[in-house]
Amino acid sequence: MSERQKTHAAAAALDYIESGMTVGLGSGSTAEIFVRLLAERVKEGMAIKGVPTSEQTADLARDVGVPLVEVDHVDHIAVTIDGADEVDGRFQLIKGGGGRHLREKIIAKASDLMVVIVDESKLVSTLGAFPLPVEVDPFGFSISAKQIYDALCKAGSTRPDVQLRRKGDGLDPFITDGHNFILDCHCGAIPDPAEAALRLNAIPGVVEHGLFIDIARVVIVGEDDGARVMEL
């Protein structure tokens, strides 16, 4: 059912795309469905340019025929369509399960509008059941880990478990597109995401984190028989 819901959400997001737009292309399974559906519109004559948020998204867009533009050649992004790992009732998000939250946030913040596409399982009352990814510089990452732990505790999380993300083999660290490490923070609950974001932003070794605060304006929830569109 999840795949059907994702497809319904991705299809509904096409209503926010018009010919002539520059569109931020998110990462993850639901965003990939959107890219494939967008490619069908391009084949029908829609003229858009996509700005991918990851190398994986860029490869997919090229494969299916969505025209891309280098981010450094863009002066305006009309809308970004992206998924999320968790969404609460205030449209605060946790993103970064795939490790691309830095580029995703850069593109989302540069856009006039961020539209989030999710299935029903991603809706939560309180963020934090999904581990919060924090991207850190490899230099001194163990120092950063302790500071991240302290910051999350001060923001109200109870004894968060901060773990270095590793590759599938479980041996080597996972490396982001920006050549950084990720610390996955198992918080259980993040009672004040905005406060947590501020405290994480103040840590020198933190490159970026997966809390998206006051960025999303539209959330499209895929359901079994269609999609529910919510706007702030």
How confident is the model over 20-36, as pLDDT tens digits?
999 999 999 999 999 99
Q: Are the C-beta atoms of residues 181 and 139 closer than 8 Å to each other? A: no
- In CATH, which of 3.40.50.261, 3.30.70.260, 2.40.240.10, 3.40.50.10190 is domain 132-205? 3.30.70.260
* Nearest one of 143, 29, 23, 139 to 84, comparing CA atoms: 29
Question: What pLDDT score was predicted for residue 115?
Answer: 98
Mean pLDDT of the chain: 97
Residue 71, pLDDT above cutoff 90: yes
Name the fold adopted by 2-120+214-223: Rossmann fold (3.40.50)
In angstroms, the first-to-last Cα distance of the chain is 27
pLDDT in tens, 110-120: 999 999 999 99
What radius of gyration, in Å, describes the C-alpha atoms of the chain?
A: 17
Q: Is 132-205 in the same CATH topology as 2-120+214-223?
A: no
104 is catalytic: yes
Q: Confidence band (pLDDT; 50, 70, 90) for 149?
A: very high
How wide is the angle at C-alpha 192 spanned by C-alphas 98 and 147, nearest 5°? Answer: 65
What is residue 86's three-state secondary structure? strand
Task: Taking residues 33-44, report their average pLDDT.
Answer: 98
Instruction: Classify residue 14 as exposed, middle or buried by CB count within 10 Å of its CB (0-12, 13-18, 19+).
Output: middle
Q: Are the C-beta atoms of residues 116 and 9 closer than 8 Å to each other? A: no
Of the chain, the percentage scoring pLDDT greater than 90 comes to 97
Catalytic residue among 32, 104, 135, 208: 104
Residue listed under structure tokens 């850069």: 106
Question: What pLDDT score was predicted for residue 49?
Answer: 98
Q: Confidence band (pLDDT; 50, 70, 90) for 95?
A: very high
Residue listed under structure tokens 């923001």: 155
Q: How far apart are CA 127 and CA 85, in angstroms?
A: 10
Contacts (Cβ under 8 Å, ≥6 apart) of 21:
48, 49, 78, 79
Domain ranges of the chain: 2-120+214-223, 132-205
Q: Confidence band (pLDDT; 50, 70, 90) for 187?
A: very high
Task: Taking residues 172-197, report their average pLDDT.
Answer: 97
Question: What pLDDT score was predicted for residue 169?
Answer: 82
Question: What pLDDT score was predicted for residue 170?
Answer: 86
Question: What pLDDT score was predicted for residue 209?
Answer: 98
Q: Are the C-beta atoms of residues 181 and 164 closer than 8 Å to each other? A: yes
Q: Confidence band (pLDDT; 50, 70, 90) for 1?
A: low
Residue 168, pLDDT above cutoff 70: yes
Q: Is the model's pTM score more than 0.85? A: yes
